Structure 1
Amino acid sequence: LIREGYSVLSADHGKAALEQVRSGSPDLMLLDVGLPDMDGFQVCAELRGFSTIPVIMVTARGEDVDKILGLETGADDYIVKPFNPKEVVARVKALLRRSEVTGGAGLGTTLSYHQVEIDLLRRRVTVNGDTVDLTPREYDLITFLLSRKEEILTRDEILREVWGSEHLDARSVDVHIRYIREKLSKNGAASYIQTVWGKGYRFALD
């Protein structure tokens, strides 16, 4: 990452990593699951209490249950050891690209549907004017769904457009959808993301 021109901070313990995020405001975190004081899942869960920076979980555990746990605690992506360093760089670049403040080509500056509005310049989602606190991946996902509102989108389509790959576990989509619904439900808008059984999801209101 340093050779690619990134400034890198490092921490050997979970608590130190959390403190660096609080004091240094990094753009992204590469988080190892195997830390000595608290595991990466605990770090990610605590991090999500005060920060929405993108998180890539790095783990030697290749079991699906561990991958899903990482996503459920708030990670945006995961990489299983051993890995190709070029893959890490590519995923870092992809996540940072998606979390940049941009207007969204061809979409104007806002997307809206009934109570829900997305400010594409500020990357902010509101329901009835109240801000919904989303992670970068959750923001990208709801933006994609709303940009194609009332269309049925398969999990493969969502993985390709939001994650940049069709070759990830489709349950990654399900986990992120569940978290978005939980956050929208606080503002009475959970029903906007509908499950179309056997096909995928759509952003619509019956």
Structure 2
Amino acid sequence: MVRHLSQDGYAVSIALSSQEALSAAADSPPDLVILHLGLPDLDAVGVVQQLREQGDVPLIMVSPTSQERDRIFWLNVGADDVLPPPFSPVELAARVRSVLRRTKAPAASHSEDRDSGGAVSVDVSDHTAHVLGRGVTLTALEARLLQFFVRHPDEALTRQRLLEEVWGFTFGDTTTVTVHVRRIREKIEPDPATPCFIKTVWGVGYLYDPAGGGGRSPLHLRKG
């Protein structure tokens, strides 16, 4: 894995313990972290939580299992993506390129960073949103996902399309989309159990309703 990434031109640093990883990230903030969950004596939960406290560095977890519940757990802890076995170095490199392309994109103007739709506004430059006048703090990925919803109001969006448009992945498990949507709902919805802004469209995916419940029925909308 390290050899393949190095051959692709990336400068790769290796840490074999929790403390070593956190110290290295604090001394020289990386552009991206790949955390292998199969390493011995690695407090992965603590590493993820402290990395999130230090900043918003993109984080890809390499899992030793393919269990969906494990992927959901690590996404909930704070990972941007979880790569289960079996996977090839080519797939990992493709995901790394996609994440870095997204996070290293040229800065947009402030007006392009900010979007508003109904009661929800989002600013991807500072990872915040305002919902009915209430301020909400988001991760960088949550902000981009919410921005995509706000830019496509009243449109039924498939999980696969969201994975491609927001994450930049043309393949992979859409579980990460489901978990990130749930995270956003917990932050912006008055009642996350019965969402009024980001609604589930059964058999399709999700729909952003700028009216917060007063918009058109998803049954009459085009599929994205």
Residue segments in structure 1 that go unaligned for 5+ positions in a row: none
Relative distance call for 1:156 and 1:104 in structure 2 (3 A) is farther
Alignment of 1:117-128 (within 5 A): 117-120=121-124, 122=125, 124-127=127-130, 128=133
The answer for unaligned runs of 5 or more in structure 2 is: 214-224
Question: What SS is found at the alignment partner of 1:6?
Answer: coil
1:32 corresponding residue in structure 2:
36
Match of 2:20 in 1: 16
In the alignment, structure 1 residue 114 sits paired with structure 2 residue 100: no
Counterpart code for 1:124 = H
1:154 & 1:138 partners in 2: Cα distance? 17
AA aligned to 1:126 is A
Q: Give the corresponding residue for 1:133.
A: 138
* CA apart distance, 1:51: 2.4
The aligned counterpart of 2:198 is: 193
Q: Which amino acid aligns with 1:32?
A: H
Counterpart mapping for 1:48-127 below 5 A: 48-102=52-106, 108-120=112-124, 122=125, 124-127=127-130
1:154 matched to 2:158: yes
Cα distance in 2 for partners of 1:129, 1:184 equals: 9
Q: TM-score, normalised by structure 2?
A: 0.75
1:20 partner letter: A
Q: Deviations over 1:61-110 (max 9, x none)?
A: 112222222212111112234532222221111001111354569x9442
- State the 1:166 CA deviation: 5.8
Counterpart Cα distance in 1 of 2:107 and 2:196: 27
Q: 1:172 aligns with which of 169, 176, 191?
A: 176
Match of 2:187 among 183, 186, 194: 183
Deviation at 1:60, TM superposition (A): 2.0
* Percent identity between the two aligned chains: 35
CA deviations over 1:3-62 (Å, ceiling 9, x no partner): 333222221012221222223221110001123333434422343234221111112211
SS at match of 1:2: helix
Judged with a 3 Å threshold, the aligned counterparts in structure 2 of structure 1 residues 109 and 16 are, in CA distance, closer, same or farther, namely: same
1:14 and 1:35 in contact (8 A); partners too: no
1:95-150 Cα distance to aligned partner (Å, 9 max, x none): 01111354569x94421123433335x2633314735231x332332122111122
Aligned length in residues: 201
Backbone CA RMSD of aligned residues: 2.9
Kindly name which structure, 1 or 2, has the bigger radius of gyration based on alpha carbons: 2
Q: TM-score, normalised by structure 1?
A: 0.81
